[in-house]
Structure 1
Amino acid sequence: MNVFEAIEKLEKVKEFDDKEIDDKIVGVLLYAGSQSISAGNVQEIEFVVVKDDEKKKMLYEASLNQEWVLKAPLNIVVCADLKKISAKYGVRGEVLYSIEDASFAALAIALQAIELGLATYIVQTFDEESVRIALRLPENIRPILIISIGYPKKKVEKERLNFEQISWLDEYGKKIELSYAFQPDRKMNYALLQDILLPKEKRKKLSEKIKEIVRKIKRKS
């Protein structure tokens, strides 16, 4: 699976299978989040892994009864140490950079999860104080996002705006026209990406090499 495919699968699942997630996979997800972008490399982002049913119920209630929080075998709460980030960047770090960094980390976890065959739903709406109480978070640790993770059970298709409707050239309001070069059609896009990443001549040479290797293997057998 490439990044393009993974992005298309973001938040298309709201129902998860009951299958537990192996701790090795949890470790991979946390590692992905820890390697994400951090303003000034402050690394103020921390993670609370929630598997306990009672804790999940508390998160479910705090998130205004969003079912996937309760049903997912795993939730990762992405938090920011406001004291750490504000020490370097002041108010801007506390109110902006902490949220940006948490979002980068959540996206890294979600994309890694999708590559491993999992599905995710990033929860943005919840009562912050209730989450703080449920997880016993210190005063300087702010919960910013909840990522519900599990094996997919039911997909939900979402309509998205065409990228040309929300993109501008050089200044706001000046339309950028790229539809002649790129259309959101999966087969064409992947072919286009292949052309960009590996020119036709190189693909031809690579194909010839692979065929030669196959012929050698057949002769030996």
Structure 2
Amino acid sequence: MEILKAIKERRSIRSFQKKDISGEIVDKLIDALIWAPSAGNLQARKFLFVKDAKLKKGIVSSALGQSFIAEAPLVIVGCTDSRISGRYGERGVYLYSIQDVAASIMGMMLVAHENGLGTVWVGAFDEEEVFNLLNLPENLRPVAIVPVGYPLVTPPPPPRVSKHEAVEFR
């Protein structure tokens, strides 16, 4: 698949078919997550793959009632790892590790799209509730939730700002 085409065609999917994702495709998603670039190659990130219905409902509750999360067969919770990112001090903990998770998730979303899956990046959630629900160790901080599944509905492309508005050459 052509990368720019995939970037332009990928959509935020909030409605999923009741269809499991094969182990082969899950392995591709994992590869995309771990092969993303990271600050100092520290890979200051951890991903939880949630399939348990009860846990998914708890995540919905922690995410302002966004019920589509529980409809997805797989929910990926991206976490920063402060044990690793501490090497770069405060900037490593509060910026680089978040960038690591973001780069991983973007690559994974493109691989998901290439394999016929839909995803949506959920950032509106109570971190402490998700932290407690998933019984995370102190070094992990949940910063993103990504439901993954086969789209039931694919929305049209959203409007974008012009190149002139987005980029300034100096």
Interval of TM-score (by shorter of Structure 1 and Structure 2): over 0.9
| CA distances 1:151-170 after superposition (whole Å, capped 9, x unpaired) | 11112232221222111111
CA distance in 1, matches of 2:106, 2:129: 24
Structure whose CA Rg is larger: 1
Change (3 A) 1:68 1:163: farther
Superposition pairs of residues 178-189 of structure 1, within 5 angstroms:
none
CA distance in 2, matches of 1:8, 1:85: 32
Is the contact between residue 14 and residue 156 of structure 1 (CA under 8 Å) also seen in structure 2?
no
Amino acid at match of 1:14: R
| Aligned counterpart, 1:61 | 61
Is the contact between residue 32 and residue 109 of structure 1 (CA under 8 Å) also seen in structure 2?
yes
Matched, 1:7 2:3: no
Is the contact between residue 69 and residue 75 of structure 2 (CA under 8 Å) also seen in structure 1?
yes
Helix, strand or coil for the counterpart of 1:123?
A: coil
| CA distances 1:151-210 after superposition (whole Å, capped 9, x unpaired) | 11112232221222111111xxxxxxxxxxxxxxxxxxxxxxxxxxxxxxxxxxxxxxxx
Is the contact between residue 12 and residue 121 of structure 2 (CA under 8 Å) also seen in structure 1?
no
CA distance in 2, matches of 1:95, 1:16: 33
What's the TM-score, normalizing by structure 1?
0.74
User: Comparing both structures, which one devotes a greater share of its residues to helix?
Assistant: 1
List runs of 5+ in structure 2 lacking aligned partners. none
After alignment, is 3-12 or 106-115 more displaced? 3-12
| Aligned counterpart, 1:142 | 141
List runs of 5+ in structure 1 lacking aligned partners. 171-221
Amino acid at match of 1:107: M
| Aligned counterpart, 1:123 | 122
Helix, strand or coil for the counterpart of 2:138?
A: coil
| CA distances 1:93-122 after superposition (whole Å, capped 9, x unpaired) | 001001111100000110010011111101
Superposition pairs of residues 60-209 of structure 1, within 5 angstroms:
60-86=60-86, 88-157=87-156, 158-170=158-170
- RMSD of aligned Cα (Å): 1.1
Helix, strand or coil for the counterpart of 1:17?
A: coil
CA distance in 2, matches of 1:8, 1:63: 27
Is the contact between residue 45 and residue 100 of structure 2 (CA under 8 Å) also seen in structure 1?
yes
CA distance in 2, matches of 1:6, 1:109: 12
What's the TM-score, normalizing by structure 2?
0.95
CA distance in 2, matches of 1:122, 1:101: 15
